[in-house]
Structure 1
Amino acid sequence: MRGLSILQRETSLQIHQQIMRFIPLLAILMAVLAACSSSPSNNINFRFVVTTLVDANNEPITFARPEGLAIDKDGNLFVAEAIGGIRRVSPEGVVSTIIQDDEVALPSKLAFDSEGNLYITESGRNRIIRVDQSGRITVVAGTGEMGLDDGDAEQAQFFLPLGIAVDESGTIYVADSGNNRIRWVSPQGEVGTLVDSEGAESGFIGISGITLASSDILYVADADGKRIHAITPEGAVSTFAGNGEIGFSNGPALEARFNGPSDIAIDSQGNFYIADLGNHSIRIITPDGHVNTAAGNGESGYGDGEGADAQFMYPQAVAIDANDTIYVADSGNNVIRVMRRVSDE
């Protein structure tokens, strides 16, 4: 892989670190402004138990600031370490490294295509890279320079790419956070812009994780905008959840409040799970359009348990396997948490 100049790498690292430093301030501001309680009530009739992911020896697995998660068709969990590489955890708890930390600069989010290729947003080099099933690394798009150029993938430019998703046709969607745009990369190697901040309702402010629903609707976690956006294939944008104000409250989706939603995933029953970073919680949006809190109580910490008894510290990413088991990148605690739905009342 081509190297990155010291100045470019330091600039990207400084930007990334500044963003990460700002995130805890959101939690402080929320505590001052939010009029609601720190642990809003739920109206769901099921509960979740949170544990910590362990290895084959039943010991907790530690990571170097986990920021992105993806699960392949065999149930292997892939973890992007913001200050490390890419690691894989098998269903049996065997941990291996598939990309060393000197092969990737500030990896952020992850996604698989239908053929089992892994895509990574390399925010430190402003590129999109692919790892095929043989382990070969390829640059898919981006020159390594910060910018906003569409066109040929080899000449296109990004600025702090974060969220990523791949549709059935092989089109890649990227949350180009520094440019506040949703970009696409076609299978033919062309880069374009689906939506920019001016085209989005209320504007994108700090987009992070994205996911695609079976309906081809793209859902975007707007961390600084405190909203979840929905985008049609034609680029029409609407607010799916959140009223745009900092807080920690449940209820009808458009009235609920978030504090830095950083990632989003959908289970087989149509429930949306949000890594609500500033509230140190995992929120759930049910198919009837209500927001509830699946786990966490609004306070940072580290504790397993049921629902509000569990604690997280700046959860950055969420992924769901074929059994609807939920995995959370608990970035502040440098571990992966596992959430399982245990009963219906």
Structure 2
Amino acid sequence: MLKVKFNCFFWLFLLIVSCEKETVLKEPVIFTLSSDSGFIGSQLIITGSNFGSDKNKISVSFDQIEGKVDSVAVNKLFIRIPEKLTVGAKLISVSLVDKRSNPAIFNILKSYQVSTVAGSGLFGTKDGNGLQASFSQPEELTMDKKGNLFIADNFVIRKIDINGNVSLYAGSSTYGHGDGATGIAKFNQRISGISMDDADNLYVADYRFIRKVDLNGNVTTLCGAMNASIFSALLGITLVDNSLFVVDIGQIKSVDLSGTIKVFTGDGSFSSVDGPTESAKVIPFKITTDNQKNLIFTEFSLGSKIRRSTTSNVSTLISKESLKLNGGLTIDREGNIYTVNGDTIIKIDNQGQIELVAGSVAGYQDGFGNEAKFFKPTGLFVDGSNNIYVCDTFNNRIRKIAPIN
């Protein structure tokens, strides 16, 4: 009898073991994605079934390019989107050993990499290479034909050469008003705009003055006065052919290179109304020029707007209460507008579509665009390769946003 029981248990044990060995893996199934689009380097969560629990046995591909599996939870995969992907729709599939899931469509967005060009983060005026230098809340910047950057840094102009060396270009250690060479000339506190002509001369919006800085860093005054008889308070400047256009309170004024000043649009009132250039009402903040030599400017006092002024008409391109257009703007060769929106940089294409370029919450962090952090960025400049340079004002740094796909 005992022998019979033993044989029964023995054969039952073998049956259980053989059943375990014959367990068949089921095909993984994708139910949903945490988002239908995303940036390179960001995390994607895939919800489904039959993923198992060992991330080393799972692989996820985006059109044959494998993503990194960060972790596996119950019916969830946490995936890092791979860097080699180009912009556009991709087919995602999950593989477990030799079993492959149903496909899902995921759209790769234009992605960017943010790095620090110069600045230690400390408030100061120390010259040096790259991260050894310090800035004093830089606000505006531009670039010459050789790739040198020029920074409006409080009441001086700093230069960053193509090797990353930071030096004083114009102005001196004290603020005020005075013409002269580097180390002698003075600017008022908080230079609000700089623009460069074809000969690489700089024009500076300096409170109630427009100043010119030649190739040797010598500063002269083009026009202006200490009182508000000519300008109330300049906020921005751009150059079109041989005319400067400056943002004054409630107006845009034109200034030729001999210093003759005319009102271009706006009457100085606190109002924003489209219409003929001579009668339109504007509250401009920052200004630039598009490829057709029209003026493009931001407003944020009565709601965030981007507006355009031709020689005959002022119109509104974008008006969104959800935006906070409190910084500079720049335009690339294709006509895309890049502007500051709070602590982020956004792009507005020719169809008016808005997308995030870089930034998230306030802070300081390099990395992929959507993970990077800025703290009150202001001035922007885009070069011929669509690299965007940023005055990261409260971080006392100059940052670079480079397209990577």
Q: Give the TM-score of the pair, scaled to structure 1.
A: 0.64
Query: Do the aligned residues in 2 keep the contact of 1:55 with 1:94 (CA within 8 Å)?
Result: no
| In structure 1, C-alpha distance between the alignment counterparts of 2:253 and 2:181, rounded to whole Å | 28
Task: Decide whether aligned partners of structure 1 residues 136 and 104 sit closer, same or farther in structure 2, where only a CA change above 3 A counts.
Answer: same
| In structure 1, C-alpha distance between the alignment counterparts of 2:266 and 2:39, rounded to whole Å | 37
Do structure 1's residue 342 and structure 2's residue 351 form an aligned pair?
yes
Q: CA deviation at 1:288?
A: 4.6
Q: What secondary structure does 1:151 align onto?
A: coil
Match of 2:146 in 1: 115
Alignment of 1:39-188 (within 5 A): 56-57=40-41, 92-100=111-119, 101-102=121-122, 103-123=134-154, 126-160=155-189, 161-177=191-207, 180-188=208-216
Q: What secondary structure does 2:192 align onto?
A: strand
What residue identity is the alignment partner of 2:201? T
Q: What secondary structure does 1:319 align onto?
A: strand
Which of 184, 206, 212 aligns to 2:233? It is: 206
Do structure 1's residue 279 and structure 2's residue 302 form an aligned pair?
yes
Q: CA deviation at 1:172?
A: 1.0
Q: What secondary structure does 2:151 align onto?
A: strand
5+ residue gaps, structure 2: 1-37, 44-109, 123-133, 353-405
Amino-acid identity (%): 28
Q: CA deviation at 1:113?
A: 1.2
Do structure 1's residue 219 and structure 2's residue 230 form an aligned pair?
no
Query: Do the aligned residues in 1 keep the contact of 2:175 with 2:188 (CA within 8 Å)?
Result: yes
Q: What secondary structure does 1:322 align onto?
A: coil
Match of 1:190 in 2: 218
Match of 1:18 in 2: none
Query: Do the aligned residues in 2 keep the contact of 1:151 with 1:190 (CA within 8 Å)?
Result: yes
Q: CA deviation at 1:324?
A: 0.6
| In structure 1, C-alpha distance between the alignment counterparts of 2:349 and 2:257, rounded to whole Å | 32
| In structure 1, C-alpha distance between the alignment counterparts of 2:317 and 2:269, rounded to whole Å | 20
Q: What secondary structure does 2:301 align onto?
A: helix
Structure 1 ranges of 4+ moved more than 2 A: 54-59, 197-200, 279-288
1:76-110 per-residue CA deviation (whole Å, 9 max, x = no partner) reads xxxxxxxxxxxxxxx85010011222211110111
Task: Decide whether aligned partners of structure 1 residues 314 and 285 sit closer, same or farther in structure 2, where only a CA change above 3 A counts.
Answer: closer
1:160-189 per-residue CA deviation (whole Å, 9 max, x = no partner) reads 212001112121111112xx1001111133
Q: CA deviation at 1:199?
A: 10
| In structure 2, C-alpha distance between the alignment counterparts of 1:55 and 1:217, rounded to whole Å | 41
| In structure 2, C-alpha distance between the alignment counterparts of 1:264 and 1:121, rounded to whole Å | 15
| Backbone CA RMSD of aligned residues | 2.2
Structure ranking higher in helix proportion? 1
Task: Decide whether aligned partners of structure 1 residues 115 and 55 sit closer, same or farther in structure 2, where only a CA change above 3 A counts.
Answer: farther
| In structure 1, C-alpha distance between the alignment counterparts of 2:42 and 2:238, rounded to whole Å | 31
Q: What secondary structure does 2:328 align onto?
A: strand
| In structure 2, C-alpha distance between the alignment counterparts of 1:58 and 1:287, rounded to whole Å | 41
| In structure 1, C-alpha distance between the alignment counterparts of 2:330 and 2:175, rounded to whole Å | 29
Match of 2:402 in 1: none
1:286-332 per-residue CA deviation (whole Å, 9 max, x = no partner) reads 435211111124x4x3xxxxxxxxxx2243211001111001112xx
Match of 1:292 in 2: 315
What residue identity is the alignment partner of 1:128? I
What residue identity is the alignment partner of 1:112? M
Alignment of 1:222-241 (within 5 A): 222=248, 225-241=249-265
What residue identity is the alignment partner of 2:336? T
- The structure showing larger relative contact order (alpha-carbon pairs under 8 Å, at least 6 residues apart) is 1
What residue identity is the alignment partner of 1:335? T
Structure ranking higher in strand proportion? 2
Task: Decide whether aligned partners of structure 1 residues 109 and 96 sit closer, same or farther in structure 2, where only a CA change above 3 A counts.
Answer: same
Query: Do the aligned residues in 2 keep the contact of 1:318 with 1:327 (CA within 8 Å)?
Result: yes
